[in-house]
Structure 1
Amino acid sequence: MNALMIKALAFAALLIIATIAVIMNFGMDVLADDMTAITMGGAIAIATITAGVAVKYINQMKTDTASGELADENWDGIGEYKNELPSGWAYSFLALFIWSMWYGLIGYPVNAYSQIGEYNEEVLRYNAKFEETHKNADAATLQEMGESIYLVQCAQCHGSTGDGLSGKAQDFTARMTKDQVLDAINNGSSQLGYAMGAMPAGMAQGEQAEEIAAYVAGGMKGEQPAAFAACSSCHGADGQGNNGMSPSLVTYDATLMSNTLQHGKKGVIGKMPSFKTLITPVQEKALTVYVQSLSN
């Protein structure tokens, strides 16, 4: 037995002793557990196989010489031989592939129990119970509930008071700023999913766009500019959105809130993600009531 083999066996023995010591640290009762015994056996087998494979290939590297057909390509004079893939590697890959198919479809099917699946099912059950319990909640309850939802889901961007954190997000104390209206006029809007469809860019330009933006940002008070006629065909003469057919320019109505939460929104301030998987219908209704209270 050469020195390399002695060192490999000593290393394997050291690994085995360390494994036994770790197991024994938990007490003798642990050894009675079948899973622990299997795991311990696997650890010993891995240590032994590792030592044997290491010895084999280290000895082989000492004695083997390169052979075979040399490839035409090289890098700084270093070439590569066109050796066939070792059959052991190919069979190992094939065995691993077959085992993975068995494990995924039979040994541990994709529809088997999982902690994530259990959590998702519990969330769905809770949401259904929540919807049933609060489906007829009064306005005061909805507003209180909406405030809680707002502080958890919205306050990080819009601020705890809904002021938009100095322009970093939508300010719920007012409907739209002049810059927001101008951005919608110049670039259009298509992401909210209204029945009227997308708003095309360039509905007004120059001074007319400025007049519309100032009028809408001011709460549509005072004399209505003539150029607003281009807007009223979709948004209505009062800017209320034609009964939910297009966005209301005056209030955060239920349709505007629902479409924004479902689809998200991108505008001059930035991009808001969709909350369609995070907000239930009753929560959406409660959040709408609360946001509407911020602009009163």
Structure 2
Amino acid sequence: MKSNILQDNINQLSLLAAAIILLLTIYVAGKYIKQMKTDRSTGELADENWDGIGEYKNELPSGWAYTFLGTMIWALWYWTMGYPVDAYSQIGEYNKEVKTYNKQFESKWANADAQTLRDMGEGVFLVQCAPCHGIAGDGMGGKAADLTVWGSKDAILDTIKHGSKGLGFPMGEMPAGLLSGEAAEKVAEYVAGGMKGEQPAEFATCAGCHGPDGKGMGGMAPDISQYGTPDFVKMVLDHGKKGFIGTMVSFKGRLSPIQEKAVGTYILSLSRGE
């Protein structure tokens, strides 16, 4: 199928703008080149000078001023009349196709079983996560989080020891070393166990930000009651995180909800040795 670039409203506007800019450039350049050959500097000198070099109090060049004004008018026209929201464009057509495909994708895999989610998550992980966390998810010798122990008591102890940065919650970042020794052990075991059973008194240190129930006090801090589940992975993906080798950007909008759930399922399988 042959395509005609002039059928696209955006292409027409772009070509028109290019032609206008080219004509203006030729006109302005020619005008000032001619003036450079014939005109002489005149007028009142400004009081300021730099190493004996001063400047005249001349008016703003009309060619530059009209070009600048024309650019502003063009921009206002382009965004209000030249390219209305409902106009056809190749970008708009592409975005519409992507939305349609994503909707079909979500519908197709809405009820995917655990194995399917794991396989899907592995594919996403190898492309998006493995460059930093390693193909095996082991963090490549401490350069990133070791996901093979994620969700375990050891992983929580590591977080307590080193702190947590970059999640962007209103309560701020978790500093390192809030607990140590037996106190850290008790809290890590409690959280890793799904916060079931008797809550250790030492958890009061965590409750100051995460709340007595660990649910983050309405979004003020991470919901650690979901630690060790795909939902917690989704939270990290949505917020991003700071690590040893840099900042993990937020994947919110980059991955669909099903893909986020799939990545969480796969990471959980890594920590379980599946």
Question: Is the counterpart of residue 256 in structure 1 residue 232 in structure 2?
Answer: yes
Q: 1:269 offset after TM fit, Å? A: 7.0
In our comparison, the structure showing a higher alpha carbon Rg is 1
Question: Is the counterpart of residue 98 in structure 1 residue 61 in structure 2?
Answer: no
Q: 1:260 offset after TM fit, Å? A: 1.0
Question: Is the counterpart of residue 78 in structure 1 residue 57 in structure 2?
Answer: no
Q: Residues 149 and 283 of structure 1 are in contact (CA less than 8 Å); yes or no, is this contact kept in structure 2?
A: yes
Q: 1:121 offset after TM fit, Å? A: 2.4
Within 5 Å, give how 1:1-296 maps onto structure 2: 50=26, 54=30, 60-109=35-84, 111-175=86-150, 176=155, 178-184=157-163, 191=167, 201=175, 204=178, 209-213=180-184, 216=188, 229-231=201-203, 246-247=223-224, 252-266=228-242, 271-296=247-272
Q: 1:73 to 1:293 in 2, by over 3 A?
A: same
Deviations 1:77-99 (A, max 9, x none): 22211122244443443334333
Q: Which amino acid aligns with 2:202?
A: A
CA distance in 1, matches of 2:129, 2:224: 21
Q: Which amino acid aligns with 1:181?
A: I
Q: Which amino acid aligns with 1:125?
A: T
- How many percent of aligned residue pairs carry the same amino acid? 47
Q: 1:183 to 1:143 in 2, by over 3 A?
A: same
User: SS at 2:87's partner residue?
Assistant: coil
Q: Residues 203 and 230 of structure 1 are in contact (CA less than 8 Å); yes or no, is this contact kept in structure 2?
A: no
User: SS at 1:266's partner residue?
Assistant: strand
Q: Which amino acid aligns with 1:282?
A: I
Q: 1:289 offset after TM fit, Å? A: 1.7
CA distance in 2, matches of 1:190, 1:65: 60
Q: Which one is further off, 89-98 or 159-168?
A: 89-98
CA distance in 1, matches of 2:28, 2:215: 75
Q: 1:281 to 1:97 in 2, by over 3 A?
A: closer
Deviations 1:243-264 (A, max 9, x none): 8663259x62133112111112
Deviations 1:235-291 (A, max 9, x none): 8xxxxx958663259x62133112111112336675322111122221122222211
Pick 1 or 2: higher relative contact order, CA cutoff 8 A, min separation 6: 2
Q: 1:229 to 1:85 in 2, by over 3 A?
A: same
If the length of structure 2 is used for normalisation, what is the TM-score?
0.67
Q: Residues 192 and 260 of structure 1 are in contact (CA less than 8 Å); yes or no, is this contact kept in structure 2?
A: no
Deviations 1:152-204 (A, max 9, x none): 221111111111111111111113174432123xxx7783769xx77865884
CA distance in 2, matches of 1:181, 1:231: 12
If the length of structure 1 is used for normalisation, what is the TM-score?
0.62
- Give me the CA root mean square deviation: 4.2
Q: 1:177 to 1:270 in 2, by over 3 A?
A: farther
